[in-house]
Amino acid sequence: MSILSFDSFVLAAATDDLSAEPAARTHADAVEFRLDLAAEPLAQLEAYDGDLPLIVTNRADWEGGEAEDEATRLSTLERALEYELVAAVDIECGALDGSVTAADTDAAHGLRETARSEDVSVIASLHDFESTPTVEQMLSQLETAAAEGNVGKLAVTAHDRTDALAVLTATHQAVEAGHTVATMAMGTAGQHTRAVTPVYGSAIGYAPVDPEGTTAPGQYTLETLRSLVGHLE
């Protein structure tokens, strides 16, 4: 398996088409492959011979994705771990901690154990598409997510600068507490946090390989995010 360390910032280029990977090589450290959006995702993984390691995501519909069948999406992720260049897997924190009734927690735990046995990092992710919780709530969420995986990922929705500031504060405090986290605020009001949270220790940033193929509100282009993070570091 390919090893992907989150000891320093990782810029992940999001796509549902692995044939687009060459376009990401100049700026990205990894590719996030969205299996739930992809045509024949396992066939794409079989054919993949790119330079960049892969983060595989098969986002549940209850967490904003398009994978509807819980058992199938998790078993597909488990099969994805068989491929050498898969270095990390994104598993919803709500599946791992049992807080989402629609999730198959036992299967999610099995997937995590398989990942660990294959030295594949686990990103335990949380998404709030409506609002930004309080700093205290985000800290609690990040602590839980970081305990469930190698990286705790939290994406929230900012409506104003106060929300964006809360995300930066929670990021800083979580990192100071020793947690490995990836944070961002979605939406126009939070767009700048995608470039700024790495200054506060956020371990992963996301941008689309194709500027027309954004997978979350407020994403920068890949080249722009790399430039912004590079100038702010």
Hey, where are the domains in the chain?
A: 10-232
| Model confidence band, residue 4 (pLDDT cutoffs 50, 70, 90) | confident
| Model confidence band, residue 45 (pLDDT cutoffs 50, 70, 90) | very high
Q: Please identify every residue annotated as catalytic.
A: 127, 153
Mean pLDDT for the stretch of residues 167-180: 98
CB atoms within 10 A of CB 161: 11
135 half-sphere exposure, CB direction, 13 A CA radius: 11
- Domain covering 10-232 in this structure, CATH number: 3.20.20.70
Alpha helices in 98-221 (DSSP H): 105-117, 135-148, 161-176, 193-196
| Model confidence band, residue 212 (pLDDT cutoffs 50, 70, 90) | confident
Alpha helices in 11-134 (DSSP H): 41-47, 70-80, 93-96, 105-117
